Amino acid sequence: MNNKKLFAEGVLKSMGYYSRSFLAFFLLSLLLNVINGQPLVPALFIFGDSVVDVGNNNHQITVIKANFPPYGRDYENHDPTGRFCNGKLATDFTAEVLGFTSSPPAYLNLNTKGNNLLNGANFASASSGYYEPTAKLYNTIPLSQQLEYYKECQNKLVEAAGKSNASSIISDAIYLVSAGTSDFVQNYYINPLLNKFYTIDQFSDTILQSYSDFIQRLHSLGARRIGVTSLPPIGCLPGAITLFGFQSNECVASLNSDAINFNEKLNTTSRNLKNMLPGLNLVIFDIYQPLYNLVTKPSENGFFEARKACCGTGLIETSILCNRNSIGTCANASEYVFWDSFHPSEAANKLLADSLVAAGISLIS
């Protein structure tokens, strides 16, 4: 009952509903569809970048890692799992609300991949993106390889649960995809081989073609319930302001405009995919507006600082630059919107998860 109630209340709070009769109706609907305290869906599979990576990069020869302090200092047992955060990610909170006792494990962390995969897996890799060369720049795991791991995972599911049960898990699971930010911030904006030869619109169109190809491949592998995050307000990330803000402390308007334009195209592309692919339930999670609200109105949302991140000076530190010797790291990350200069704090992730839950109702109905 606790997970069902948490889910319902989270949805209602996020959507602005407080009617007791509506809450009763919603809880009754959940009770009719959820049996014996099982999760609302059989499994959760996650693909993407550092916003959702829970440790796959621990096994890569790359500097893009977070498996050392102070990362994870507010996580269970103060464990630096590889999450780019002081604690839980938005997807960790989402998994809890869906009724899972733990988040989907990092696929590459699993020594035994049988029954451990029955509730899903996480294939995400920090610095990955829809644009294949982005991951190659940092020797991380591109989405094409993440799909190959997922195909391997499907075979392991058949071995562990049988073909029929595995088929049900695959078709009824929720698939979450978070990518795109690295393509811009860690590639296009800093790579003259791209930004001198492609306009931002041309590059966006290239990314969207890769996005379309990825969704079609995922659909061909049996995925039917897919949630995809939009680009965040990339011009408001502390690291982006430091790099591209020309000594300003304000969000970089041009970068935010790029994100808004991309998100509009993402919505159009996604509508076309839904019309083209049979049985596809594809939802775009708007991360842009919720995070923009936190950055521009921090005190209204319970935060003290939105320009600087908690780790180090808060202006540029991420990955290996955010370490136990980083000077100036804050004592209470819950007062900060950002943990490092590119990633939200656990406190911000909790609020972003509320938005994910509200937008994702159609994926579980």
Q: Would you please indicate which residues are annotated as catalytic (active-site) residues?
A: 50, 340, 343
Could you tell me the sign of the dihedral formed by the alpha carbons of 286, 291, 297, 298, in that order?
A: positive
- What is the Cα–Cα distance from 18 to 23, expressed in whole angstroms? 7
Rounded Cα gap, residues 225 and 186, in angstroms = 29
Which tokens sit at 332? Answer: 């209470």
Helix residue ranges per DSSP H, the chain? 2-15, 20-33, 90-97, 132-138, 143-161, 163-172, 181-185, 192-195, 200-220, 238-244, 253-276, 288-296, 346-359, 361-364
User: What torsion, rounded to 10 degrees, do the Cα atoms 24, 26, 28, 32 define?
Assistant: 180
How many of the other CB atoms lie within 10 Å of CB of 27?
16
Cβ(315)–Cβ(306) below 8 Å: no
φ and ψ of 324, to 5 deg: -65, -15
